[in-house]
Structure 1
């Protein structure tokens, strides 16, 4: 009997200690904002369904695209990863009221819990943590495909923006943002429509290059923004297909968009025409005609699935056709 009791105590005490510690860490009722009642809303997504019973007051965003959505709708964020914050969200970087939730690809779940969110926004980059996150708060998955964006990428962005507008009671502002983004996308399509130029999207990583085709993270640029690809279709996925300088020369694109991953990952100055010493690349039509665009690497690589990033990408795309 004593051994049985001891075993039960051994199982009970750690749980009780965790509960006690968590209870000590919980804010008092006076510290928590009052929850605004709303008609229960169910959002279906790739990982399941999320039920929202109250207007969220404390939102944790685990992806920079999600932070930008909240920024577009004037919704404060209580926690976010701060390892790679794009320049257009720079105001969040040193805000002491916003909890640093660790890394985008591996958020610190203890910090997420400590932020006491009543809604968590995530993407496929944090999919492995979905079940644990749902134990902390209702968790909404943004169904953007970072590996293959050739189908409905922009529609998915707009639909997610409208979902968030409904959740936060910001439907009118969400519709306004969608209208503005629609105008931007239409402007790009007017520029690219019927143009014969073929383009190559290259990811630069410490001197090496990867190319992105239609079936890749930048597929939407070809299928939805009307840019004609210079390379044959291939399954290039998240980080592209490794290519040689000879491949780039033989593809001979009319426009080259260079995404400098090294600048993002190592916090270096962005690559430029002066710093790119590659004799074969300089023999392409794109280089000879001054149509090599060194794009905004934070908008293209860190985000690329939010309102601000799509507007920046649109400007970069148009820039390739201006010369």
Structure 2
């Protein structure tokens, strides 16, 4: 497991932009010097999204978020949500917070917000109890019914195009707009981009290496190969890291707008252009891939150029890039990818 570290991108913003008071479940965060809700701050504001549009009459003071990672945007910008989804994946200590979120709350000297249990879907009653002015969900799997129900509680900022497919930059930009903090959101994106560029420069062997992400690998049944398409944020993140999208994955992704796809293992030669494979699993899974008569024919598998991420750990979770996780995992992830790139040479 990687050592915990301070998220430098958000720390820069904290030092240069906002001073925030701690927020309890019943009180909105107070932002010192924040503009009052007014037309001068760009309101009323209309945000287009997959379910139509949402109009905000004034700058929200009580921000709630649902689904994965949306709470990281207000936190990175110095605003503590009144409520947010509890982590149900990669939570190494069972407190409902991923380590980079826990660290950010500590930086803000803030108490843990109300945590919504989304094990069985969105807890609409719990969301309503936090009395939000806006509900952020730019990266989410909202259905029309979810959106309609949440909209009865407060204005909802939904994903722009497709469920679970909003790139990390757009997650920041859309959610920041929904808070009346578009400029701050752009500054956060630029800060993270700079951090990524500096880190990637230390690993020149990654440049242009074609990389795919295998998913839902069942060691007991390797008759099919499932993978994240170019619509998924994990795959899109490869390009930020200097890696390339294999033509085979791009072609398979063009057939639909789903975030994952599946082919028969008998067609595994489709992925002959893949230099590096990333997947969730352990060394035992890698050994299983290498011992399979079909999957072992993939050049990346044959070369040992496989990055196996422990799916239930923070490191595995952070392969899906989110505003605070990127800084936390960047060095560790790049080091693993570089090892695989060296193996594929």
Note the C-alpha offset of 1:171: 4.2
Structure 1: give runs of 5+ residues left out of the alignment.
1-30, 261-270
Q: Report whether the alignment pairs 1:37 with 2:28.
A: no
**Aligned-residue RMSD, C-alpha:** 4.1
More strand by percentage: 1
**What residue number does 2:262 align with?**
242
**What residue number does 2:17 align with?**
none
Aligned partner (choices 162, 177, 183) of residue 163 of structure 1:
177
Residues 206 and 43 (structure 1), Cα distance of their counterparts in 2 relative to 1, 3 Å cut = farther
Does the 8 Å CA contact 1:63/1:104 hold for their aligned counterparts? no
Distance 1:109 1:256 in 2: 39
**What residue number does 2:52 align with?**
48
Note the C-alpha offset of 1:250: 6.1
Residues 44 and 66 (structure 1), Cα distance of their counterparts in 2 relative to 1, 3 Å cut = same
Note the C-alpha offset of 1:210: 0.5
SS at match of 1:227: coil
TM-score normalised according to structure 1 size: 0.66
SS at match of 1:66: coil
Does the 8 Å CA contact 2:229/2:259 hold for their aligned counterparts? no
Note the C-alpha offset of 1:180: 2.0
SS at match of 1:204: coil
Residues 219 and 43 (structure 1), Cα distance of their counterparts in 2 relative to 1, 3 Å cut = farther
SS at match of 1:65: coil
Residues 41 and 291 (structure 1), Cα distance of their counterparts in 2 relative to 1, 3 Å cut = farther
Relative contact order: is structure 1 or structure 2 higher (C-alpha 8 Å, sep ≥ 6)? Answer: 2
Q: Report whether the alignment pairs 1:73 with 2:77.
A: yes
SS at match of 2:36: strand
**What residue number does 1:182 align with?**
193
Does the 8 Å CA contact 1:147/1:238 hold for their aligned counterparts? no
**What residue number does 1:285 align with?**
299
Residues 119 and 303 (structure 1), Cα distance of their counterparts in 2 relative to 1, 3 Å cut = farther
**What residue number does 1:98 align with?**
113
Structure 2: give runs of 5+ residues left out of the alignment.
1-25, 91-97
SS at match of 2:71: helix
Distance 1:82 1:155 in 2: 22
SS at match of 1:287: helix
TM-score normalised according to structure 2 size: 0.63
Note the C-alpha offset of 1:134: 1.8
**What residue number does 1:306 align with?**
322
**What residue number does 1:214 align with?**
230
Distance 1:34 1:200 in 2: 41
